[in-house]
Structure 1
């Protein structure tokens, strides 16, 4: 669970844009931010689900269809945030897909699709949000990588490459805009209990669990808590960092 607000909440008067925020980890981040006073803009390729999730968060939240592979679509999302709430203070680049297959069987389309959504999508969100934040005096950008980008997993040459690329992107971009008050950090989740991971075969789940020193899967709220830390002034002297939220897996 995200920390309970005490007195002034951590994100008062801030506007947060979250891609892939209609469900799973993105929705958990949106809820945590809303609990701490942020105005929420959810961008998701599933516009209807984005709107439903936003409705659950209350009056200071909107949901909009967004294809992160298209820079114009991301620009429209950010413009909608400024039109509705006046600013873009926090950007969470969370949208992602998997198209798992071994190299022998993976198609070029499967490779390209994962790179486009996960890596180019994060680049679009980072560069376009940073362009706004540098003019307004600063902000926080949070990019969702994965432990797969650190160690590499069989069947994920596309996904591991994209998630490793997000780390490099985060560090390079952080150096470009640090002097302008824009902070950019990344989170690498491990095995997190979501509808997608719980659908995996029991044998695969057990193999992953055996690698986790804390002997349990993480919850989406535990990723959201770290995102809240990066979004808030609690991490005001941190940029270009990578937080592994994995229960100790692959340390």
Structure 2
């Protein structure tokens, strides 16, 4: 699949629902915090075509940022980009190919400017039985869920420093914190996000680059809802029993934390993992 890019306009997202099943609703109702320092700031988001990443793209665009995103699914990328109001560009790329990812970042920076914010969102929690996983599958899960986070940070850090600093936000997970079963390669990779975040914060702090992580709980994206409906519909109620707050998380909850970490409102926060899970951990 050849990389492609587009500038476009628009936005629709998912909202939460308490104990009910999720339904689509607008993310443009004007009820969100406004971060004026994000206006016209170049922002890069990986895995931005669907789920949490798509909502992060929408919400940065609503702030007036110049948003670039990376996505492996060309159809999803084009659909999202065509629906967003503001300056949005994307590249279709498989992040397991680091050379292609670096080239895609360079092309987007040429259109939008040196990135001041990077959100390392891309990942995949596909289920796998620990007894059956092969070395090749293990390496692939790390390539999908961890490796590109470091190399995208490496790709933007120089330009970010020359521009005066910025914010890198890595997406982790609470899954490793309670030892989720059926995703051992995923949980191991996500546990490593914390170490990556700590070390990058030390490496980049002198250049005024902050590095933090977000560890979400179970976020009811369309993919997660479909999977649970097909395999275990009782999971919705059971999971709420584990949460202190009795409302399911949605992608907007994670996007709100990403916006705060990108803005100057969090200017003294670095090297930290912020848990957004409704009180599971």
Could you say which TM-score interval applies, normalised by the shorter chain? over 0.9
1:243 and 2:274 correspond: yes
CA RMSD, aligned part only?
1.8
Indicate how the Cα distance of structure 1 residues 77 and 63 shifts in structure 2: closer, same or farther if over 3 A, else same. same
User: C-alpha displacement at 1:114, in angstroms?
Assistant: 1.3
**Which of residues 183, 187, 205 in structure 1 aligns to 2:214?**
187
SS in 2 for 1:202: coil
SS in 2 for 1:62: strand
Report if aligned partners of 2:61, 2:86 keep a CA contact under 8 Å in 1: no
For structure 1, the 5+ residue unaligned runs are none
Indicate how the Cα distance of structure 1 residues 168 and 3 shifts in structure 2: closer, same or farther if over 3 A, else same. farther
Report if aligned partners of 1:99, 1:110 keep a CA contact under 8 Å in 2: no
User: C-alpha displacement at 1:60, in angstroms?
Assistant: 0.6
1:46 and 2:77 correspond: no
CA displacement, residues 194-234 of structure 1 (integer Å, 9 cap, x when unaligned): 11221212133343222111122101111100000001111
Distance of 1:64 and 1:48 partners within structure 2: 12
Indicate how the Cα distance of structure 1 residues 131 and 203 shifts in structure 2: closer, same or farther if over 3 A, else same. same
The aligned length equals 249
1:226 and 2:242 correspond: no
- Name the structure 1 match of 2:12: none
Report if aligned partners of 1:51, 1:62 keep a CA contact under 8 Å in 2: no
TM-score scaled by length of structure 1? 0.93
Report if aligned partners of 2:200, 2:211 keep a CA contact under 8 Å in 1: yes
- Name the structure 1 match of 2:158: 131
For structure 2, the 5+ residue unaligned runs are 1-26
Indicate how the Cα distance of structure 1 residues 101 and 204 shifts in structure 2: closer, same or farther if over 3 A, else same. farther
- Name the structure 2 match of 1:109: 136
- Name the structure 2 match of 1:173: 200
SS in 1 for 2:38: coil
CA displacement, residues 67-94 of structure 1 (integer Å, 9 cap, x when unaligned): 2222222212221222112221111111
- Name the structure 2 match of 1:121: 148
User: Which stretch of structure 1 is more off in the superposition, 108-117 or 18-27?
Assistant: 108-117
Distance of 1:229 and 1:48 partners within structure 2: 30
User: Which stretch of structure 1 is more off in the superposition, 61-70 or 162-171?
Assistant: 61-70
- Name the structure 2 match of 1:94: 121
TM-score scaled by length of structure 2? 0.83
- Name the structure 1 match of 2:82: 55
Distance of 2:129 and 2:238 partners within structure 1: 18
User: C-alpha displacement at 1:155, in angstroms?
Assistant: 1.1
Distance of 1:90 and 1:54 partners within structure 2: 19
Report if aligned partners of 1:94, 1:144 keep a CA contact under 8 Å in 2: yes
- Name the structure 2 match of 1:197: 224
